[in-house]
Structure 1
């Protein structure tokens, strides 16, 4: 039977489930229909606070205002109600439709197992969300770094809008956490492109030493994109001793920046970062970082995270958390090839107990280049604002092809970091070469190969990615974070193939464009990415091209953006059959928002005001309350 609202007939009216004038109470109507016994109604009321109704019935119908459950299912994009049974969505439709469906379902069960006894039928509790709220599928971040987020939040540096302000933050931390000259201080988040009191050049070790309280301490500060570190004079001393009293002249896949006399300035790019002997995180620190990230993820509606740089130790931690019932989100892990030992490479096996499992690892992550903000993105021609630079390729094109083929032949999915147009071309060349050994491109597409970022591409490569079936996994907030300097760095022609999200989506072989944030590089809040995708504006409503957005032709619609952070993200993780949309047979992962971010008639700025009222995974409340 039909369970959607199609056919041109408006849904029948439903009771208005409103609270009293104070807004503190809400009536939840519990209704069930029975063809044999008639219709009965049970009323249940409770005080509605953000944590008031944290235990849901085993089976229930969840309803919103007419058409305000956004399913991300292209065949049935909006419904009034869904029925959840334990962890599964059974059906969707209007309230009368789902009640009739439930009655038929109960009749079938009773006839099969209880000899047709009417009293064996179970009632259907109907829970109505607050007026004006909406329900969307559980949100997924298709590219993020869970432990790195927890680490960054210990001492975040991204709020600093000047070098002076950043040094103030460090001094304050040191005063509150006194340590000796051999105790490393590590933090993340600086971005020299946003400082008002510098020329835009990289900072130096001498800048740190300009503050007496910092001068003698070993300090390592990770740039916001993770592709550069800035260290203090004391850290330089310890690094030099660790390396045997001298720094290498060159570093494959990285660079040590030097002054006019040839001495290191304190900036280490990409692969050169590994030269600095920063102590590894302890198991206690790792758990603390993970738990903080998971807590914050639930609060912003994330039910799935693709962890795009997972070490073996981190995978073991995720499994440990799951065994302790302390992992309420789903983690799709990509093995970090940079941190695999030679033994790991030989012994690592795909870890996948099915697409609904809380922990899975069936892809590897390979890095090809650096980041645009640190002039490390590998370009085919020089940077417009730094003609002596073309970025950093971590591997030659030949080496990259060998590495990818090695993992491909073992059966792994391959996700490749590529920012610059040279890096993206090299990745597509590699996948195209692999495809020539298969019957057709569809076989390549079925393995879900991914380019992570796909940030700056030749115009012809935007289409080629789709033709090859390569998934382009993008982060909309990168566009709005970079837009004030990206065109200066790339020039007016090269920018045409950069941050081209609508073009990538239209070119995609299967209409797939998974969206992420790259947190902690950007905010963990997925609604910020949703806003950036549909507006191409910063959070103040501005862009280099005005209020209409930066290159507005590349904006996504709200429906496309929602699908990108739900169903498309599930597809990229081989999970689209059971996750990513509010459809019959899929897991009951959903989020309740306090306002309608999908309403195209509302100003885009309203999106930034939206609050998560509840996050539900497998039919259970894991944050807030329904």
Structure 2
């Protein structure tokens, strides 16, 4: 790859002097057969398009601007790609020497020491200032749901009025049948400038004449609350044979305190009462295709899909069989969406750590989310003393389900936001560890807490002692920081979003990072920025420009490892993915600037762009 954006060129003798006098290796060894010589000479002189890069090549970023996440050699000048894997790293001289030895060995084995059989090594340069990092992974995301959210961006509204305008514009542009549900995602009442931060109501939707008679179901940004129009409430009531239940285990139908009638907000398990039509296969494919496209554009090569239905898993398999799934998907089967028959028959699918579709973990849910007052707390909310949140799975039921899946051989990953929920998950894993045949069985099986958001200080350390991985999302901290302390108070906040503490407590120094997209943005550099700066995208925090609780920042090296090697470790793939070292897959990203340079301002991270995303040694997005 060269400085040309559309036509990357092998290094030539003409530019050798510009790169420190490097001799370009693009000639055949002596005594070449005429036909082979003509072929290779012709190939070396033409502009090689991105889509026809050779199966073997060296890529260099002079000045050790390749960040390998290999502790034995953290930065190098060049990597050597042989087919789908990294064959060598180091200086250009070192990778060339490796290539020569490799070619000589092949020639001796297959060609009887015929020098003309030796193949040349194309060498490409990353552009000035660019860096190369391992392929970026999102350790917690939702693939199909992201594509769905992008159909109607409720998260763009900064007031209730703006959101209603968005809906009205959507209805005008896509006139619905009166019985067709309008479904969207992304509202967040804590960000609206024209309300007091309380939940909206059905009456708010009915305030606009064009919306009043339509069945509308709007998912909150965290997907733990559903906001219904009056028509949708009526359809839900009819679906329930005309009566709403007084209570919902693991959920809540929010009611008017005076009249007792539903306000239009259904939280957590109560959302399952609403008869929203299921997405068709065509819709799911459209949503997944959009996500893959956007993921490649921001440098994602692996995604842990953190609640996969059987239908979604079959969709991923179909896309892979069609050659339309360049990214690697590590799926966690969604326990909540399994039918009894599926729960009985579902099997682990893990052909290899390099496979583009794998499923060897199950996702369980303990509680709701902080933004909807659903995170399960040990003591009442500081800003809502009448509630402690929602345990979707009480402690005994959680322990039973963890044991059930554990005994079947599955990895067990559990959603836990509040301190009560996190304690319950750790208690369940600790019970298993006490009865484990092998002392380190729990750590070997790599159970995960997804979010680990609010924990008792002693549980921050206990997670590491047990070998439980804490899979966190740095942008949750910077999204929630404006209201989190008012919800939790000054003491509980000490155990919240404590990423550096969790990393230091980890038995193996592992902290997988994700985004939870579409709850947050899909760009992993937003998470990188949030992890190292603890600021919002405007450079602000409740504690000023120094960052929110800055002692919990990650270093840039820690953040990069969290979204590469640590994410690979969390999916049992660290020997195959996650770093640029010999023997691993050639998944890497070319960025247009050095986000790893500690001297650069944090804001520069947000300006970084992906020049190319490479998977299995082939360019899947972009060009240089």
TM-score normalised by L of structure 2: 0.94
Structure 1 residue 564 and structure 2 residue 562: aligned?
yes
Query: Once the two structures are superposed, what CA deviation does each residue of 1:39-82 show, in whole Å capped at 9, x if it has no partner?
Result: 9997957779xxx5232111000101221001111221111001
Aligned pairs for 1:73-152 within 5 A: 73-152=70-149
Q: Relative to 1, partners in 2 of residues 1:282 and 1:411: Cα closer, same or farther, differing over 3 Å? A: same
Aligned pairs for 1:434-583 within 5 A: 434-583=432-581
Shift of 1:523: 0.2
Match of 2:202 in 1: 205
**CA distance in structure 2 between the partners assigned to 1:602 and 1:350 by the alignment:** 45
Query: Once the two structures are superposed, what CA deviation does each residue of 1:172-200 show, in whole Å capped at 9, x if it has no partner?
Result: 00111112331100000000000010011
Match of 1:166 in 2: 163
Q: Which secondary structure state, in structure 2, belongs to the residue aligned with residue 493 of structure 1?
A: helix
CA contact (8 A) 2:6 2:623 kept: no
CA contact (8 A) 1:33 1:100 kept: no
Match of 1:247 in 2: 244
Q: Relative to 1, partners in 2 of residues 1:473 and 1:24: Cα closer, same or farther, differing over 3 Å? A: closer
Structure 1 residue 387 and structure 2 residue 380: aligned?
no
Shift of 1:625: 1.4
Match of 1:13 in 2: none
Match of 1:29 in 2: 11
Give the paired residue count. 605
Match of 1:8 in 2: none
Q: Which secondary structure state, in structure 1, belongs to the residue aligned with residue 211 of structure 2?
A: coil
Q: Relative to 1, partners in 2 of residues 1:47 and 1:133: Cα closer, same or farther, differing over 3 Å? A: farther
Query: Once the two structures are superposed, what CA deviation does each residue of 1:281-335 show, in whole Å capped at 9, x if it has no partner?
Result: 0010010000000000000000000000100000000001011100010000000
Shift of 1:584: 0.2
Q: Which secondary structure state, in structure 2, belongs to the residue aligned with residue 200 of structure 1?
A: coil
Match of 2:295 in 1: 297
**CA distance in structure 2 between the partners assigned to 1:617 and 1:72 by the alignment:** 17
Structure 1 residue 318 and structure 2 residue 311: aligned?
no
Match of 1:6 in 2: none
Match of 1:179 in 2: 176
**CA distance in structure 2 between the partners assigned to 1:44 and 1:552 by the alignment:** 52
Shift of 1:32: 3.0
CA contact (8 A) 1:26 1:46 kept: no
> Over the residues paired in the alignment, what is the CA RMSD in angstroms?
1.9
Query: Once the two structures are superposed, what CA deviation does each residue of 1:62-119 show, in whole Å capped at 9, x if it has no partner?
Result: 1012210011112211110010011011010000111111111111111111101111
CA contact (8 A) 1:33 1:99 kept: no
Q: Relative to 1, partners in 2 of residues 1:36 and 1:204: Cα closer, same or farther, differing over 3 Å? A: closer
Query: Once the two structures are superposed, what CA deviation does each residue of 1:220-261 show, in whole Å capped at 9, x if it has no partner?
Result: 000000000000000011000000001000101000000021
Structure in which a larger fraction of residues adopt helix: 2
**CA distance in structure 2 between the partners assigned to 1:72 and 1:35 by the alignment:** 34
Q: Relative to 1, partners in 2 of residues 1:188 and 1:17: Cα closer, same or farther, differing over 3 Å? A: closer
Match of 2:216 in 1: 219
TM-score normalised by L of structure 1: 0.94
Shift of 1:34: 9.6
Shift of 1:478: 0.2
CA contact (8 A) 2:31 2:115 kept: no
CA contact (8 A) 1:54 1:625 kept: no
Q: Relative to 1, partners in 2 of residues 1:227 and 1:38: Cα closer, same or farther, differing over 3 Å? A: farther
Q: Structure 1 stretches of 5 or more lacking a match?
A: 1-15
Q: Which secondary structure state, in structure 1, belongs to the residue aligned with residue 428 of structure 2?
A: helix
Shift of 1:520: 0.1
Shift of 1:170: 0.3
Match of 2:365 in 1: 367
Match of 2:20 in 1: none
CA contact (8 A) 1:527 1:608 kept: yes
Match of 1:589 in 2: 587
Match of 1:341 in 2: 339
Query: Once the two structures are superposed, what CA deviation does each residue of 1:549-589 show, in whole Å capped at 9, x if it has no partner?
Result: 00000000000000000000000000000000001000000
**CA distance in structure 1 between the partners assigned to 2:8 and 2:27 by the alignment:** 26
CA contact (8 A) 2:26 2:122 kept: no
Q: Relative to 1, partners in 2 of residues 1:377 and 1:45: Cα closer, same or farther, differing over 3 Å? A: farther
**CA distance in structure 2 between the partners assigned to 1:492 and 1:191 by the alignment:** 24
**CA distance in structure 1 between the partners assigned to 2:113 and 2:63 by the alignment:** 35
CA contact (8 A) 1:29 1:44 kept: no
Structure 1 residue 157 and structure 2 residue 154: aligned?
yes
Match of 2:229 in 1: 232
CA contact (8 A) 1:32 1:103 kept: no
**CA distance in structure 2 between the partners assigned to 1:73 and 1:550 by the alignment:** 30
Aligned pairs for 1:390-429 within 5 A: 390-429=388-427
CA contact (8 A) 2:8 2:124 kept: no
**CA distance in structure 1 between the partners assigned to 2:507 and 2:346 by the alignment:** 31
Match of 2:17 in 1: none
CA contact (8 A) 1:181 1:234 kept: no
Q: Relative to 1, partners in 2 of residues 1:112 and 1:461: Cα closer, same or farther, differing over 3 Å? A: same
Q: Relative to 1, partners in 2 of residues 1:18 and 1:215: Cα closer, same or farther, differing over 3 Å? A: closer
**CA distance in structure 2 between the partners assigned to 1:59 and 1:358 by the alignment:** 22
CA contact (8 A) 2:31 2:116 kept: no
Bigger CA drift: 515-524 or 102-111? 102-111
CA contact (8 A) 1:156 1:189 kept: yes
Q: Which secondary structure state, in structure 1, belongs to the residue aligned with residue 52 of structure 2?
A: coil
Q: Which secondary structure state, in structure 2, belongs to the residue aligned with residue 213 of structure 1?
A: helix
Q: Relative to 1, partners in 2 of residues 1:402 and 1:106: Cα closer, same or farther, differing over 3 Å? A: same
